């Protein structure tokens, strides 16, 4: 389907990972949400899996340590980027 910016990205194409999805999670007993592209979300999930902690625990840790002037979504992206830059890899 074509939109105002041209054809919609096909699943598996490089652009398909750029669609931002809103996700909800419960951390420390309260619901919160963040918006991440699938590519970043997959990295965040991989970090939690490789550390042996739940996704909620990792998100809570990142939330606790982020600069409160930045939003949670940005903090998650930056955490994923730093992990990749330091050699982190998604294990299949």
What was the pLDDT predicted at 11? Answer: 47
| pLDDT over 70 percentage in the chain | 80
Identify the DSSP state of 39.
H
What was the pLDDT predicted at 18? Answer: 77
Where do the domains of the chain lie?
23-86
Question: In terms of Cα–Cα distance, which of 62, 37, 38 is closest to 48?
Answer: 62
CB-CB contact of 75 with 66 (8 Å): yes
Indicate if the pLDDT at residue 3 is higher than 50: no
Instruction: Render pLDDT for 11-21 as a digit per residue (tens, 0 to 9).
Output: 455 555 679 99
Indicate if the pLDDT at residue 73 is higher than 50: yes
Classify burial at 61, counting beta carbons within 10 Å of its beta carbon; exposed 0-12, middle 13-18, buried 19 or more.
Answer: middle
Distance in angstroms (rounded) separating the CA atoms of residues 42 and 23: 13
Instruction: Render pLDDT for 25-59 as a digit per residue (tens, 0 to 9).
Output: 999 899 999 999 999 999 999 999 999 999 999 99
């Amino acid at each position: 389907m074509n939109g105002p910016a041209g054809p919609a990205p096909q699943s598996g194409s490089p652009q398909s990972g750029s669609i931002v999805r809103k996700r909800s999670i419960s951390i420390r007993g309260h619901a919160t949400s963040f918006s991440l592209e699938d590519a970043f979300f997959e990295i965040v999930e991989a970090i939690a899996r490789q550390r042996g902690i739940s996704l909620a625990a990792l998100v809570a840790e990142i939330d606790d340590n982020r600069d409160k002037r930045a939003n949670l979504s940005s903090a998650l992206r930056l955490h994923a980027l730093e992990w990749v830059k330091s050699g982190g890899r998604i294990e299949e």
